Amino acid sequence: MTTLFAHGATIHLHRNDLPDGLSLGPVVAVDTETMGLDPRRDRLCLVQLSSGDGIAHLVQIAPPSLGGRGQDCPNLKALLADPATLKLFHFARFDIAVLRHVLGVETRPVWCTKIASKLTRTFTDRHGLKDLCRDLLGIEVSKQQQSSDWGAPDLSPDQLAYAAADVLHLHALKARLEGLLAREGRTALAEACFAFLPARAALDLLGFDDPDIFAH
């Protein structure tokens, strides 16, 4: 395990799986970094997790050609599938799909800050993580490393700090968005959307994203 301290956060980098015995609590923020935006084509490189305590756990997943263990991530997979642990995402649809495709695990139950934002912040079309952190938390999040090479065997400190930032603020965003959902009377609708996300991801992997079967 490699440990990095950046911007007041503690970042632990693990290889291929979470360590045995690690407990991240009942609500775990999760994000992924991949080689692109097609979950059927692009390699999963990194999975980030945080319990909202200022600590991020990053799991680097090497490809088989570099000694990676492929789908053998038992601790990570157990957490993702654990029905007692809520997995908190921003744009869960993509992350759930790539985790299912690469690790063969159905991630549930889930909560998505992007969907919650779209259901409540209808006065804007800005629902990116950077926008939510700025508008709801007053925090500026850099996206400078978003398009960097996540498949590199050695990730830079800037890459690790960027990846960690994608999960460190999700718990605080969830708390703010839960209030907005309640205020607008859309909590039940949001929960129904969250419950459907694993099925939506499965449809994407089968090619039903284009054309979308829910389109006219």
For 134, which DSSP code? I
Q: Are the C-beta atoms of 179 and 121 separated by less than 8 Å?
A: no
Position 216 scores a pLDDT of 86
Indicate if the pLDDT at residue 71 is higher than 60.
no
Position 44 scores a pLDDT of 96
Peptide bond into 211 cis (omega under 30): yes
d(CA 39, CA 147): 16
Q: Where are the domains of the chain?
A: 2-205
pLDDT (tens digit, 9 = 90+) per residue, 98-113? 999 999 999 999 999 9
Q: In Å, how far from its chain's centre is CA 128?
A: 13
Query: Is residue 63 very low, low, confident or very high in pLDDT (cuts 50, 70, 90)?
Result: confident
Position 189 scores a pLDDT of 98
Indicate if the pLDDT at residue 66 is higher than 60.
no
pLDDT (tens digit, 9 = 90+) per residue, 12-56? 999 999 999 999 999 999 999 999 999 999 999 999 999 999 999
> Which tokens hold the place of 145?
């490393």
Position 68 scores a pLDDT of 46
Return the bridge partners of 87, or none.
28, 110
Which class is 2-205 in CATH?
alpha beta
Position 4 scores a pLDDT of 86
Work out the percent of the chain whose per-residue pLDDT is above 90.
86
Q: Are the C-beta atoms of 85 and 28 separated by less than 8 Å?
A: yes
pLDDT (tens digit, 9 = 90+) per residue, 148-195? 899 999 999 999 999 999 999 999 999 999 999 999 999 999 999 999
Query: Is residue 205 very low, low, confident or very high in pLDDT (cuts 50, 70, 90)?
Result: very high
